[in-house]
Amino acid sequence: MIRSCAHCGVKNRVPARHLADAGRCGGCKQPLPALAEPIEVGAAEFNEITREARVPVLVDFWAPWCGPCRLVSPVVESLGEAHGDRLATAKVNTDENQQLAMRYSIFSIPTLVLFKDGREAARLVGYMPQQVMEDRLAPHL
């Protein structure tokens, strides 16, 4: 994964296993905080992130035309910000990644799948308030 430094703009390569770790920018040596916002991933990055991340990865399967998906998106962002050191978040556009959606039996969107050690640990379908999501995900974090 490539992350830009907020201080100097240098692009830093961060392995998937370190997405939830704080680090230092390779250019200016300023702190590079753990990734809080969801990462847009396709089929190429998906396996690396879900298998190699040292923290659980919450994947939001969504589509741009889906109204409920737009309601879930800020909740997923908020979960990433609140639990950034214990949880990585990612988004998969099902229109652009249909094979990936079929592989994980995504029949309705939004569907949130929590991957832990490369395996599905939990699945949430449809919109639900943030507290309900947190309660359902808490045993896995």
Give residue-wise pLDDT tens across range 103-128: 999 999 999 999 998 899 999 999 98
Per-domain residue ranges for the chain? 36-140
**Are 104 and 113 spatial neighbours (Cβ–Cβ below 8 Å)?**
yes
Q: Which residues contact 82 (CB under 8 A, 6 or more apart)?
A: 134
Q: How far is CA 100 from CA 47, 115, 118, 125, 132, in A?
A: 10, 14, 14, 17, 26
- Bond prior to 110 in cis (omega within 30° of 0): yes
On average, the pLDDT of the chain sits at 87
* Residue with the larger pLDDT of the pair 22 and 99: 99
The fraction of the chain above a pLDDT of 90, given in percent, is: 40
Tell me which of 8, 25, 28, 66 is the catalytic residue: 66
Residue 43, CA distances (Å) to 72, 98, 131 in order: 22, 9, 30
Q: Cα-flanking dihedrals φ and ψ of residue 114, to 5°?
A: -95, 120
66 is catalytic: yes
Residues 6+ apart with CB under 8 A from 84: 20, 33, 34, 35, 36
Q: Is 28 a catalytic residue?
A: no
pLDDT bin (cut points 50, 70, 90) of residue 67 is very high
CATH 3.40.190.10 applies to domain 36-140: no
> Of the listed 5, 8, 25, 69, which one is catalytic?
69
Q: What's residue 36's pLDDT?
A: 67
